[in-house]
Chains A and B, each alone.
Chain A
Amino acid sequence: RGAARRFASSFSSETALPPNLRLPSNLVDPDRLKRPPPPEDSSLPLIRKCEAALPAHLSPVRTWVDTLESKDSEPLGLTELHPDVFAVTPRHVETFHRAELRFSDHFSFKLIFSHANTKVRSEVRGGGRKPWKQKGSGRARHGSIRSPLWRGGGVSHGPRGPNSYYYMLPMKVRVQGLKVALSSKMAQQYLHVVDSLNIPTPDSQYLLELIRDRHWGESVLLVDVSQEFPENILQATANLKTVNLIPAIGLNVHSMLKHEAVILTLDTVRFLEEKLLWHDKRYTFLYPFKLPYSDFP
């Protein structure tokens, strides 16, 4: 009877996976790649044209613009994205590696900082007196009971005090890292543009089902320009671990790599292009940028 049931399961239509299956982490979901980039002669309106000056040899990248309002809606239109921000080919793999894997933009408090401390022989309590006289006692000669040779003595070359490993990569490297991260997300079709982050209901299930139906991925990063978000989306993402909301100022390479899909609004796209393209054409600074300049911002 068990043999018959096992045999029958090979003909069943349910896609039940065995419980001890281990999938590789870089498995590509074929449903996600089913939607090709918009064709040249698409009937949908072009919602946003690229404002910045394009170089003559590059053409803007076109993407669909979706809505979060309803689950099964068609894309609203098309957007043009600047190729120098969203279609950058990393010419040197080394800068790419530096910018992304060496934590170009993270200053986490644990990793740049160590509180490990040991006492040196002068700091350990006691040990000022010579324990026994130099000659005659037959024991080895010692000057204090807290020398590093002794048990309970100081450490000679141990970690010293709160230690900082702070560093900053050059500004242009950090900017290039952001551009490369955005381009890679775009190229792998993990980047989606949305008109705004308004949802009909503050329900987390609605968001999860929307993400599942559109095959965006397991984890989603929603980015909006302003610091104030609509109530609905705040409530919906409050309890979800893998769907996170950040303002555009908080965008960084680590979060982009951690979350599978990155969702930008149209305003965010404009903001990012403006901020990231300025560094291509700026002069080097004479004094820090936070002090006032006549022509910036």
Chain B
Amino acid sequence: MFALGGLLRVGSTFFQSAGTLLLPVRTISTGTCCQIRMHAIPQPKQVDRWNEKRTMFGVYDNIGILGDFKAHPKDLIIAPCWLKGFRGNELQRLTRKKKMVGDRMTTLDRHNLEKRIRFLYKRFNRTGKHR
């Protein structure tokens, strides 16, 4: 068995070498083709698909349906208090911030907030197509 295999392999190499003598193939390069710089290719970043955050992603999101509606998934969000379970455009977000957090802000931030609210109010309600 092994002898047969060995013979076959030797035979194929013999034929290959004979073929190369019959049909000479030479690759010519003048140095103008694209030169891939092997050291500059960055390594693909190794992402751990099973770290704590990724495994536990989305757990407790059905706590309302499955848990007797005692809690709502919006209670689970970690966010500034004026944005928990709230979605709105910039003016709505800023007015909500002023209502909920306004008296705790620094004077400069509060001043900027009020200027921005005034500007956005005028912009949304007095200019443009949708007023």
Contacts and interface: CB of A to CB of B under 8 A. Distances in A.
24 contacts: A105-B58, A106-B57, A106-B61, A107-B73, A107-B77, A109-B78, A162-B83, A164-B87, A166-B77, A168-B73, A241-B51, A248-B66, A249-B60, A250-B60, A250-B63, A252-B58, A252-B60, A252-B62, A255-B55, A255-B59, A276-B65, A289-B64, A290-B69, A290-B72
Contacts of A255: 55-59
Q: Which 10 A-B pairs have the closest CB atoms?
A: A254-B58, A106-B58, A105-B61, A289-B69, A241-B50, A250-B59, A249-B67, A164-B83, A166-B87, A7-B5
Contact of B65 (A7, A112, A178, A258): A178
Contacts of A106: 57-58, 61
Contacts of B54: 258
B85 to A, nearest CB: 6
Contacts of A92: none
Contacts of B62: 105, 174, 178, 249-252
A245 to B, nearest CB: 11
A61 interface: no
A53 interface: no
Contact of A112 (B2, B77, B112, B115): B77
A3 interface: yes
Interface in B48-103: 50-51, 54-70, 72-74, 76-80, 83, 85-88, 90, 93-94
A275 B5 contact: no
Interface of B: 2, 5-6, 9, 50-51, 54-70, 72-74, 76-80, 83, 85-88, 90, 93-94, 112, 115-116, 119
A24 interface: no
Contacts of B2: 4, 7-8
B76 A107 contact: yes
Given A123-B112, A165-B87, A275 B59 contact: no
A275 B66 CA distance: 6
Interface of A: 3-4, 7-8, 103, 105-109, 112-113, 120, 122-123, 160-168, 171, 174-175, 178, 219, 241-242, 244, 246, 248-255, 258, 271-272, 275-276, 279, 288-290, 297
Contacts of B83: 113, 162, 164, 166
Contact of A163 (B63, B73, B93): B93
A252 B70 CA distance: 17
Contact of A246 (B59, B72, B119): B59
Contacts of B74: 107, 166, 168
A289 to B, nearest CB: 4
B99 to A, nearest CB: 15
Given A3-B6, A107-B73, A122-B116, A161 B79 contact: no
B106 to A, nearest CB: 13
A237 to B, nearest CB: 11
A61 to B, nearest CB: 21
Contact of B61 (A107, A120, A279): A107
A168 B72 CA distance: 11
Nearest to A163: B93
Contacts of B55: 241-242, 244, 255, 258
Given A7-B2, A109-B78, A171-B65, 18 more contacts: A4-B6, A106-B58, A106-B61, A107-B76, A113-B83, A122-B112, A161-B94, A164-B83, A166-B83, A166-B87, A178-B65, A241-B50, A248-B66, A249-B66, A252-B62, A254-B58, A255-B56, A258-B54
